[in-house]
Amino acid sequence: MTGHVTFTIDKDDPQNPTPDRFIGKRFEKALNVILNSVIFRSSGQDPTATGTYIEMGSRLLEPVLLALAVLAVRGRIKR
């Protein structure tokens, strides 16, 4: 027994997003949301834009400085 099945979709094909969706302001907002939810933990206060960037920079720099300190101690112990 063989049969023929026809499947019809009533929706149009998806279109590429318009160029005005990819703007700097939207990118900055998305980056801020991602970094605050994944990497950084917000303190609950609302700092200024400059304060936000300083906080992000310090949170990125702290692990680097800690790693350098560990390497320095390790170098001193190995002597």
- Quick one: which of 22, 24, 52, 25 has its CA closest to 39? 52
Is 4 within 8 Å of 19 (Cβ atoms)?
no
Quick one: pLDDT at residue 33?
A: 80
Q: Can you give the pTM of this predicted structure?
A: 0.40
CB 42 within 8 A of CB 36: yes
pLDDT tens-digit profile of 14-49? 777 777 777 888 888 888 887 777 666 666 667 788
pLDDT in tens, 55-79: 888 888 888 999 999 999 988 887 6
